[in-house]
Structure 1
């Protein structure tokens, strides 16, 4: 096998299957060869999930575990391609790792799965409808009831905890600031929540960044620090974006 081609992996797996069935002594070497040949594929899967708050080494280990399971479980006599079986298996293992191992507070599995799908669903519906989706629309799209939707929204806060002594960026100048010192900052946006609900049609006309910040803050229950980390800006910049955007919506609403 050369480059990224896996065209000859099935013949190798057939040799392995025959060796296992007959108890041939080379079965261990064939299994190790098959795993070694497909390691770049597992590494690629791990990289697809990197940058989401988990160590790449952990993701790599999980993806490679999925690869080993794929090789051990693959039925060469079904006539299907190995990659069509191995890729979903490895991706499934990594997704289960995120779902089961990276939550600071225990959350039911079904709620975790709904929460993972929530962000993409909000964006998809917002683009389709030209406005922020309502709770019943989100619930229908996700095929859950509104009670479960509410639990999924709240579950976002249970994904990852942070020490109060952890250092976070402050004013855009990379000034060290303990998380404890950042707590208690006035959240000027809350006074605009009622107005926000009344100006949904105007939200669709906002620039992408402003609309995304609003969605993350008020529909995904993200903190300003979490938004700042995702956008690569400071918490103070997020605060200014929120204040400016909500003020603009309020002014346009009153003008209309």
Structure 2
């Protein structure tokens, strides 16, 4: 532990060293670097003072922030239990720190239990809650998330006893649940992980290997055309002969507006207006059918 004259964490820049002395607390320059034994002793002192300070004051913030830094080692220790998720370690430490802060806010010296003993379940619980809420590929109700864990444990235990995979009735009897609940839990478990449709279907790893995406069907654009044609038929029958002839020349024979104008003896601009009027009428008729 080291003493210094710098402004403690949580105090404003206007705070002086005399203000720190009035806190009746040691000023720890680098709380995170304090040895574990010293951190435990200092934590007791800070918890005693925190209990009588008014929440929201500078003194309260200094005591609370120092307690957080003194006990960050607990978060790092808890995080080692999840080292198989090294790619998420930064998130794990952040979430674990939230658990530490909650433990500090709830802890009371009258519990007659060490802070570390009290805090570890809070930290680990917060981390597990993070995985439970964010690790599922498909969102399912929390009760089914918890049932998945119970089913996994029951399946392992019964497999050892029976030397085979347990049946649904056996799982239900073991967990004291209805078979329908077991089935629901097993189905929901499929949402825990999701595979990419771009993964190869075989395990050869060859660049040209077929993927699931290669075997998935696509929307047939021709079907939509057929549907539109069928819907347009009664609307076309309502048009006059001249309008149907214009549509036939434009979209059937693929004539330009100038060519159509020559056939009708009108200007290209008039043909454009005629086509706009006709297609607008057809579009309105289609929308009215939806």
Asked if Structure 1 and Structure 2 have the same fold, meaning a TM-score greater than 0.5 normalized by the shorter chain, the answer is yes
Following superposition of structure 1 onto structure 2, how do residues 75-154 of structure 1 map, counting pairs within 5 Å? 75-154=108-187
Cα offset for 1:161? 2.7
Cα offset for 1:164? 2.2
Distance 1:128 1:58, change over 3 A: same
Cα offset for 1:96? 1.5
Distance 1:168 1:14, change over 3 A: farther
Following superposition of structure 1 onto structure 2, how do residues 1-256 of structure 1 map, counting pairs within 5 Å? 2-3=35-36, 7-8=40-41, 9-20=43-54, 25-52=58-85, 55-165=88-198, 170-171=203-204, 175=206, 180=211
Report Cα offsets for 1:35-82 as digits up to 9, x if no partner.
112112112222313435972222221111111111112122232322
Q: Is the 8 A contact 1:170 1:177 kept in 2?
A: no
Which residue does the alignment assign to 2:231? none
Deviates more, 1:86-95 or 1:40-49: 40-49
Deviates more, 1:2-11 or 1:39-48: 2-11
RMSD of aligned alpha carbons: 3.2
- Return the alpha-carbon distance in structure 2 between the equivalents of residues 177 and 16 of structure 1: 65
Distance 1:169 1:49, change over 3 A: farther
Report Cα offsets for 1:188-225 as digits up to 9, x if no partner.
xxxxxxxxxxxxxxxxxxxxxxxxxxxxxxxxxxxxxx
Larger relative contact order (Cα-Cα within 8 Å, sequence gap ≥ 6): 1
- Return the alpha-carbon distance in structure 2 between the equivalents of residues 20 and 107 of structure 1: 42
- Return the alpha-carbon distance in structure 2 between the equivalents of residues 99 and 67 of structure 1: 19
Cα offset for 1:130? 3.8
Q: Is the 8 A contact 1:99 1:112 kept in 2?
A: yes
Which residue does the alignment assign to 1:224? none
Report Cα offsets for 1:95-152 as digits up to 9, x if no partner.
2212222222221111110102322221122223444323223223333222111111
Distance 1:53 1:2, change over 3 A: closer
Q: Is the 8 A contact 1:14 1:76 kept in 2?
A: yes
In structure 1, the residue corresponding to 2:35 is in which secondary structure?
A: coil
Unaligned runs of 5+ in 2: 1-33, 216-290
Distance 1:106 1:37, change over 3 A: same
- Return the alpha-carbon distance in structure 1 between the equivalents of residues 208 and 176 of structure 2: 42
Cα offset for 1:15? 2.5
TM-score by length of 2: 0.53
Q: Is the 8 A contact 2:155 2:166 kept in 1?
A: yes
Rg (Cα) greater in structure: 2
Q: Is the 8 A contact 1:169 1:177 kept in 2?
A: no
